[in-house]
Amino acid sequence: MKPQKSRSSVADLDTPAVTIDLDRVDENIARVQRRIEGCGLVNRPHVKTHKIPAIAQKQIDAGAVGITCQKLGEVEAFVEAGVTGDILVTFNIVGDLKTERLMALVPRVKRLAVVADNEVVLRGLSEAARRHGRDLPVLLECDSGFGRNGLQTPDEALDLAKLAAQLPNLRFDGLLVFPNTAPRTKGFFEAAVSKFEAAGVPLPILSGGGTPALNALEDYPMMTEHRAGTYVYNDVMMVHSGAARWDNCAMTVRTTVVSRPTADRAIVDAGSKVLTREQYYVENFGRVAEYPDAVVANLSEEHGMLDLSACRDKPKVGDVVSIIPNHCCVVSNMVDEVHGVRDGMIEVVWPVAARGKVT
């Protein structure tokens, strides 16, 4: 589906609807591009935040070296839409079904790099690349304290890098961590650089990630690229972490007050199927832009419960309010389309091309 051009008023939208402030998106893209370039790094934004090829193209046009995808389904959607430059997939690709999908994409892209954190994944990638007569660039993912997947020590990373260099049709390109804010990142990178240098193994790429880490890029002088995603929209978590201000938040969910069962409670028509219940390190379930003293206290599937007890002015039944979500990346995966808005008018309707592309 192609973006639809529109000039209707945002007030005409039925609710709930996800709106994107286009001026804020453009400002966020430009600001973060300057920030990353100013630290001598290349920018490889993560598209799982927006899942929209047109926004990825904005990021590339602003100077991004390429994009980061989390799953092959995202790559397929973006390649089909014509985003065929430098793409990194930051998730272990396991099994013949997925490696065949991967290899079908390789000739359609300028550069398609992958990650691995274990021998099984490496050997599967090597066999697929050998079978298709193609070379695959590979980065090794390291766990610097986030507690997800990843190699646990620089020694493990060096051993796996040596294996990657020996396997047919693989090219070892470097190391990757997420997020930089994990507690062992700097020490892990410093030790890895020292050990790889002593072993004579080049480290052309040291890739870090995370929007909150943008505030501390100077702490990682050995890093060569940064992968941030949420910055393009921002959300409650990013404001809480100090990575954004409220006027940097481009995504809001427009939602209608459908009930006022008590003086201090309002019910809106956006629940967990739009806003999600993700909280991570923040409280409640979003911020009401027009009523900052209101609390999005709870969500069920279709209902949002607002606590208005701290509000002097309170919305009435029929009023439309805008909620900044806790985590904008998940909201993108909940809706078929988002509405790009400028000066109160809908300028573009973008289908969320990679919605549901989780394989």
Does the pLDDT value for residue 169 go beyond 60?
Answer: yes
Residue 117 scores a pLDDT above 60: yes
- With 0-12 CB in 10 A as exposed, 13-18 as middle and 19+ as buried, what is 163? middle
Task: Respond yes or no on whether the N-terminal peptide bond of residue 16 is cis (omega within 30° of 0).
Answer: yes
Residue 200 neighbours by CB distance under 10 Å: 6
Selection from 267, 317, 334, 332 nearest residue 50 by Cα:
332
For residue 343, count other CB atoms closer than 10 A to its CB: 9
% of the chain with per-residue pLDDT over 70: 98
Quick check: 119 pLDDT over 80? yes
In this predicted model, what pLDDT tens digit does every residue of 143-158 receive, in sequence order?
Answer: 999 999 999 999 999 9
- Predicted structure pTM score: 0.95
DSSP string covering 266-318: EEES--HHHH-S--TTSSSS-EESS-TT-EEEEE-SS-EEEE-TT-SS-PPTT
Q: What is the DSSP string of 330-346?
A: HHHTT-SEEEEEETTEE
Domain(s) labelled CATH 3.20.20.10 in the chain stretch across 22-232
Second-level CATH architecture of 22-232: Alpha-Beta Barrel (3.20)
d(CA 60, CA 67): 8
CA distance 249 to 284: 17
Under the banding of pLDDT at 50, 70 and 90, the label for residue 2 is low
Whether residue 217 contacts residue 226, with contact meaning beta carbons closer than 8 Å, is answered with: yes
- The token pair at 256 is 């209608």
Task: Tokens for 153, please give them.
Answer: 């020590």
Q: What is the CATH number of domain 246-351?
A: 2.40.37.20
For the segment 267-308, what is each residue's pLDDT rounded down to a tens digit? 999 999 999 999 999 999 999 999 999 999 999 999 999 999
Cα distances (Å, whole numbers) of residue 207 to 52, 68, 139, 204, 225: 23, 11, 9, 10, 5
Could you report the per-residue pLDDT of 28-86, keeping only the tens digit for each? 999 999 999 999 999 999 999 999 999 999 999 999 999 999 999 999 999 999 999 99
Helices (H), the chain: 22-38, 53-61, 72-80, 96-105, 119-132, 154-166, 185-199, 236-241, 272-275, 328-332
Percent of the chain at pLDDT > 90 equals 97
| pLDDT given at position 3 | 67
- Residue 4 confidence (pLDDT): 65
pLDDT of residue 5: 62
Q: How confident is the model at residue 6 (pLDDT cuts 50, 70, 90)?
A: low
- What's the average model confidence in pLDDT over 174-191? 94
Residues of the chain with CATH 2.40.37.20: 246-351
Tell me how far apart the alpha carbons of residues 125 and 119 are, in angstroms, rounded to a whole number: 10
What does the pLDDT read at residue 234? 98
Per-residue pLDDT, 1: 55
DSSP annotation of 194:
H
Q: 207: part of which helix (H) or strand (E)? A: strand 205-209
pLDDT of residue 190: 96
Mean pLDDT score of the chain, rounded to an integer?
A: 97
Q: What is the pLDDT of residue 261?
A: 98
